[in-house]
Amino acid sequence: GQNIDQPTEMTATEGAIVQINCTYQTSGFNGLFWYQQHAGEAPTFLSYNVLDGLEEKGRFSSFLSRSKGYSYLLLKELQMKDSASYLCAAYNNAGNMLTFGGGTRLMVKP
């Protein structure tokens, strides 16, 4: 079966750094996606990790440890517009499926 866990809500201050964790247990794992979703909108792609390690893309970085079934999304220099839900999703290459976690609602405060 598939099981994806991430915190439900987080709060952080503008300008700070926040780390959103995601643990997964899934068969046929072939990569971990992070998406950002603002209220009332469809998700937008942030990152895709297949290999272990950290990938940096501007203010956002994503880390994966396949042996631990663990990933995190790191957001630096937080801005108010970063307030959104962040979804991690495990890619299963058997059937080309994405299994989503419940999403983490991040609130950035001044």
Partner 1 sequence: GAVVSQHPSWVICKSGTSVKIECRSLDFQATTMFWYRQFPKQSLMLMATSNEGSKATYEQGVEKDKFLINHASLTLSTLTVTSAHPEDSSFYICSAMTGYEQYFGPGTRLTVT
Residues that bind partner 1 (CB under 8 A): 30-31, 33, 35, 40-45, 48, 50, 85, 87, 91, 95-103, 105
Q: What is the closest distance, in whole angstroms, from the C-beta atom of residue 22 to partner 1 in the complex? A: 12
DSSP lists the bridge partners of residue 13 as 109
Of 26 and 85, nearer to partner 1 (C-beta) is 85
3-state DSSP call for residue 54? Answer: strand
Q: In angstroms, how far apart are the furthest CA atoms of the chain? A: 44
Written as six digits, the tokens of 78 are 């937080």
At closest approach, how far in Å is the CB of 15 from partner 1?
27
Rounded Cα–Cα distance for residues 26 and 104 (Å) = 19
CB of 68 to partner 1, least distance (A): 22
Shortest Cβ distance from residue 29 to partner 1 (Å)? Answer: 13
Taking 3-state DSSP, the helix, strand and coil percentages for the chain, each rounded to the nearest 5, stand at 5, 60, 35
Nearer to partner 1, 52 or 77 (CB): 52
- Residue closer to partner 1 by CB (options 28, 102) is 102
